[in-house]
Structure 1
Amino acid sequence: MPPVRNPILPGFNPDPSILRVGADYYVATSTFEWYPGVQIHHSTDLANWTLLTRPLRRKSQLDMRGDPDSCGVWAPCLTHDGARFWLVYTDVKRKDGSYKDAHNYIVWADEVAGEWSDPVYVNSSGFDPSLFHDGDGRKYFVNQLWDHRRRPALFQGIALQEWDDGSKKLVGPRKNIYAGTALGLVEGPHLYRRAGWYYLLTAEGGTGYDHACTLARSRDLWGPYETHPARHILTAKDHPAAALQRAGHGDLVDTPDGRTFLVHLSGRPTTQRRRCVLGRETSIQEAHWADDGWLYVKDGPVPSLWVDLPAARDEARYWEERRYGFGAGLHSDFQWLRTPEPERIFNTDGGVLTLIGRESVGSWFEQALVARRQTHFSYDAETVVDFSPTDERQFAGLTAYYCRFNFFYLTVSAHSDGQRELLIQASEASWPLGGLSEQYLGQPVRIPNEGKVRLAVTVRGKELQFYYSLREEGEELKKIGPVFDASIVSDECGGHQLHGSFTGAFVGVAASDINGTAAEAKFDYFVYRPAKHESDRYEI
């Protein structure tokens, strides 16, 4: 059987938590400010995955309005105690500076694809929580411990405290059980019990190019924990030429036949300034338990682009065109930003996607933006929009989007005299934020005030080009605007300092009416077409 190429979950799918129940595997990943919260994928062979559910889909579970970019849902942990599924997650309300307003919650469900409970608040002492079910039935809550006073060492270790399911509260003492290694920034804890040992898997080195998975163990749950003799069981920090970079934040799973695999986040940088346009993706490595009782990654610690899995991947499915209509509602590939009240920003009545113009494209509160992940380095996307703006404060169209600081946006808008026009908006930022620019690029193109407009974008590696045509005239697509640097929509350009941007590129549609009159834009369909290009060295 041929090996499978990483990542197994391409595009923005970071912080994987993996679980096997019987013959079924589940991976939960972070969604940050994108709604609904948490992606849970399902597989029976570790190679082929299908999005099963996003469990945090009610206002009572999650409301992220006002959460800054790259805040929201961090590092979910999915577990099963033999009777029900458990999911713990953080909703981060602030991350820049010394303070972290990071609130941790627990929800549960009898069926993973069913309705999940309302959340129970646990604590806010740090982020990246997990829930450990010990063999005696007791449960323990584990999270990274944050100390806002101790710059630069704000990451103060891994905290452990018992969780009482009856009272739905933490009980007993809290103990800092592991301070991490000299690499620093210890986070992402997961606990396991095996052969009389408790194993603690953590992430270290931040989410950039020094990221790593670190393993420690103890005979006693409460420690002390000794660090793995190699320190880091997975990292690419000393191997800049490795195909998979930024490797860390992992979780372990055993197959029914006794093999062990480590899932982990990773990034595939493009050659220009090592930018990860597809964000932090989920990859997998085979590992083994040695005679010394320690886990080692096969051919590690450097992550492999290719891995032997129980099955081959369906490559044809990976490359197929996705053509989305809206007669059956919004396809599960799409998400929106922050709000638990999607009826205020879109509907699919009449088989078209109607966006209700709200705030600007960069708002942290309520914007009408519906998009899907970019999962290939090169692609085409297109849509047809029916929109009648009255002035320059109403605009709608097609966007390649990362966050408020980084997007390209081809809009149907209007001049102050009411004449409809096409206009490209773009925003580009890098740290420090003094470098932020948000401006209109190029000259507007005047178009008739009535009629649908076809909008398209092509991305070929580092190059992004917009196109348009006027539907009623049967025109072929023609270029509008210059060739842009497609790598701008990446973690490395997300408008934050190092280790501060965590999501990935999306492509979709948006509408704004900053007059406050809720002008509607109607989209007939959306197409996402993967493309192969010679610059995409990790896909060809």
Structure 2
Amino acid sequence: MIIDNPVLKGFHPDPSMIRVGDTYYIATSTFEWFPGVRVHSSRDMVHWQYVTSILNSERMVNLRGDPSSGGVWAPDLSYSDGRFWLVFSDIKTVTGTFKDGTNYLTSAERIEGPWTDPVPINYVGFDASLFHDDDGRKYLIQQTWDHREYHHHFDGITLTEFDTSTMRLLPETSRTIWRGTDVRLSEGPHLYKINGWYYLFAAEGGTTFSHQETVSRSRTLQAGSFETMPGDEPFLSNFDTPRSYLQKQGHGSLVDTPTGEWYYASLCARPWHRPQESVVDPRGWCTLGRETSIQKVEWDEDGWPHIQGGHGGSRYVEAPRDAPVSSQEHEEGHQHDDFESDTLGPDWCTLRVPFNGKMGSVGAGSLRLRGQGSLHNLFDLSLVARRWQAFDFDAQVRMDFEPRSYQAMAGLTNYYSDANFSWIFVTWDERRSTRVIEVAQSDGNRYVSYLKDEAIPVPAGAHVWFKTKVRTSSYSYQYSFDGRHWATVPVILDAAVLSDDHVYKQIDGYFTGGFVGLAAVDYSGYGSLATFSSFDYRELKEKP
């Protein structure tokens, strides 16, 4: 069997992969999206199934008010002493000199839970992980942040012993074990003990096209004892492979198979570029966000790890030889939801808080969203969305909505963040005393309504269907009043606006990916109700 990268498509970054028995698990970052920390499992590294989301209640994590691209960063999943352990950061400030947040620890006997209430452990820096040494001692490894504007923000990889009897760190044991390379911006550290060596894997260079993974090692855990892998090449990177299918690889975790093969799971991205743009500068736009890829690892005679085939990695990778033969086919990208269940399915996400009665209700054939704040709102927002997982897809929904004010709006949105989104929606035109359809976009908080006086009237008593057609570099919106005959709104939108790379040019916070979803807004405070039914998301086959 062959691993076809990425194995987790669309906004599944910072993978923490472990093996328990014959089963592999990957936990990925979710940032401001709820529920937090998605977990997938596999027995062959080829076919991955969603298992659970660990932070599935406000008791487990409080993201209310967290900025876009803040929230849950870099979860570290491990297994020791008959328990699963999870360390994660909740980041409250993304831009500026400070990176306020807290590192938490939770554990469970089963991956499905129940998980213990998260314990705050410190905030020396983000991207913390838990190392279980073979003598029974445990250590927290983390990037250390320096806010001082006259110092470099990266201040080394710190190791601190953790006492499981008190569930507290022992700060008097803290020491800096590695200062990084000249690339700097080190983050995402993971520590492993293999054949008497402590190996430290860490990402460097920032999570852009210059991203890379570096390896160092030591015989001890003493301060400053780690030496970086010799040579100029990183362990994993695409900074010098601009034409590779996969880009931005780095920040991940190492795992072995039962028969002694080794693999590395890392974040990656797949950019597209316009014909008039250089492939190299810029390399393109990653509208699917950062995804998860897996590369095979080989060890040289000096005990250093290397990516099979070179540090740029490959799209297609040989699966473990001991993997069970599977007849399972790759599922076509399709989601249809008639909203019969009284809970949302695992593809759906909300922002910062779980779906609740303040947002609306679901079941008996419809999703009912009560209008709250605008799509810029970081606190009270009625938005239910799912990841973009293909460059080309169609999504559509039927909606019933009777606004009585231009401050009430509901419809279908393509969303990246509170600053970057677009949507097609029904609202009220007081001049014509009728419902109308409008299309609007926010690009870096610059909000533009496209139809204005040409907003499309909705016939009295008519239902409305909305559709979006995403075609790699651009997308459009359609509407229908019978679900069969569609009209296209004459507005073509730039998909790059919903990419990490575009947002990076506007603000230092660009870590998620495109979503398509359903939203209701009523900033008047009267809570107008929108009813959605028969949602359909269907991917088109990827072009060669």
Question: Which TM-score band (shorter chain)?
Answer: over 0.9
Bigger shift: residues 191-200 or 304-313: 304-313
| Deviation for aligned residue 1:341 | 5.8
Distance in 2 separating the partners of 1:257 and 1:198: 21
| Deviation for aligned residue 1:451 | 2.8
Select which of 267, 270, 273 maps to 2:269: 267
Per-residue CA deviations over 1:350-398 (Å, capped at 9, x if unaligned) read 2311111111012111211111111000000000001111111101110
1:362-401 mapped onto 2 (5 Å cutoff): 362-401=376-415
Structure 1 residue 326 corresponds to structure 2 residue 339: yes
Structure 1 residue 229 corresponds to structure 2 residue 230: yes
Per-residue CA deviations over 1:83-111 (Å, capped at 9, x if unaligned) read 10000000000021101102100001110
Bigger shift: residues 216-225 or 195-204: 216-225
Per-residue CA deviations over 1:190-249 (Å, capped at 9, x if unaligned) read 000011110100000000011001000000023410001135100111221222111110
**Residue in 2 aligned with 1:426?**
441
Per-residue CA deviations over 1:64-85 (Å, capped at 9, x if unaligned) read 1111110000000000003100
Distance in 1 separating the partners of 2:327 and 2:537: 18
**Residue in 1 aligned with 2:58?**
59
**Residue in 2 aligned with 1:211?**
211
| Deviation for aligned residue 1:10 | 0.7
Per-residue CA deviations over 1:431-485 (Å, capped at 9, x if unaligned) read xxxxx411111331011242321100111121201111013xx650110131211
Distance in 2 separating the partners of 1:194 and 1:177: 17
Distance in 2 separating the partners of 1:448 and 1:316: 45
Task: Report the identity percentage.
Answer: 40
Is the CA contact 1:107–1:117 (under 8 Å) kept in the aligned structure 2? yes
Structure 1 residue 12 corresponds to structure 2 residue 32: no
**Residue in 2 aligned with 1:460?**
471
**Residue in 1 aligned with 2:277?**
none
Structure 1 residue 251 corresponds to structure 2 residue 249: no
Is the CA contact 1:264–1:282 (under 8 Å) kept in the aligned structure 2? yes
**Residue in 2 aligned with 1:433?**
none
Q: Which amino acid aligns with 1:247?
A: Q
Is the CA contact 2:95–2:508 (under 8 Å) kept in the aligned structure 1? no
Distance in 2 separating the partners of 1:518 and 1:232: 54
Q: Which amino acid aligns with 2:229?
A: H
Is the CA contact 2:76–2:129 (under 8 Å) kept in the aligned structure 1? yes
* Other structure's SS at 2:173 match: strand
**Residue in 1 aligned with 2:495?**
486
**Residue in 2 aligned with 1:95?**
94
Q: Which amino acid aligns with 2:116?
A: S
1:43-192 mapped onto 2 (5 Å cutoff): 43-151=42-150, 153-171=152-170, 172-192=172-192
Bigger shift: residues 183-192 or 334-343: 334-343
Is the CA contact 2:74–2:127 (under 8 Å) kept in the aligned structure 1? yes
1:284-303 mapped onto 2 (5 Å cutoff): 284-303=294-313
Is the CA contact 2:3–2:294 (under 8 Å) kept in the aligned structure 1? no
| Deviation for aligned residue 1:133 | 0.6
Unmatched runs of 5 consecutive residues or more in structure 2: 275-281
| Deviation for aligned residue 1:130 | 0.2
| Deviation for aligned residue 1:173 | 2.2
| Deviation for aligned residue 1:349 | 3.4
Distance in 2 separating the partners of 1:157 and 1:451: 62
Distance in 1 separating the partners of 2:54 and 2:23: 18
Q: Which amino acid aligns with 1:448?
A: P
Per-residue CA deviations over 1:242-292 (Å, capped at 9, x if unaligned) read 221111101000011111000001111111351100000000100012210
Task: Tell me the TM-score normalised to structure 2 length.
Answer: 0.94
Q: Which amino acid aligns with 2:523?
A: I
| Deviation for aligned residue 1:314 | 8.0
| Deviation for aligned residue 1:306 | 1.4
Q: Which amino acid aligns with 1:528?
A: Y
Structure 1 residue 40 corresponds to structure 2 residue 39: yes
Select which of 280, 295, 298 maps to 2:290: 280
Bigger shift: residues 496-505 or 188-197: 496-505
* Other structure's SS at 1:14 match: coil
1:477-516 mapped onto 2 (5 Å cutoff): 477-494=486-503, 500-516=509-525
| Deviation for aligned residue 1:497 | 5.1
Per-residue CA deviations over 1:513-535 (Å, capped at 9, x if unaligned) read 1011111111112111001364x
Structure 1 residue 240 corresponds to structure 2 residue 242: yes
Is the CA contact 2:95–2:507 (under 8 Å) kept in the aligned structure 1? no
| Deviation for aligned residue 1:4 | 2.9
* Other structure's SS at 1:185 match: coil
Unmatched runs of 5 consecutive residues or more in structure 1: 430-435, 535-539
Superposed CA RMSD in Å reads: 1.7
Distance in 2 separating the partners of 1:92 and 1:47: 32
Is the CA contact 1:263–1:284 (under 8 Å) kept in the aligned structure 2? yes
Q: Which amino acid aligns with 1:410?
A: I
* Other structure's SS at 1:199 match: strand
Change (3 A) 1:479 1:151: farther
Task: Tell me the TM-score normalised to structure 1 length.
Answer: 0.94
Is the CA contact 2:15–2:265 (under 8 Å) kept in the aligned structure 1? yes
Q: Which amino acid aligns with 1:467?
A: Q
Distance in 2 separating the partners of 1:320 and 1:250: 25
| Deviation for aligned residue 1:46 | 0.5
Is the CA contact 2:390–2:542 (under 8 Å) kept in the aligned structure 1? no
Q: Which amino acid aligns with 1:88?
A: V
| Deviation for aligned residue 1:499 | 5.7
Q: Which amino acid aligns with 1:216?
A: S
Change (3 A) 1:410 1:497: closer
* Other structure's SS at 2:380 match: coil
Change (3 A) 1:6 1:152: farther
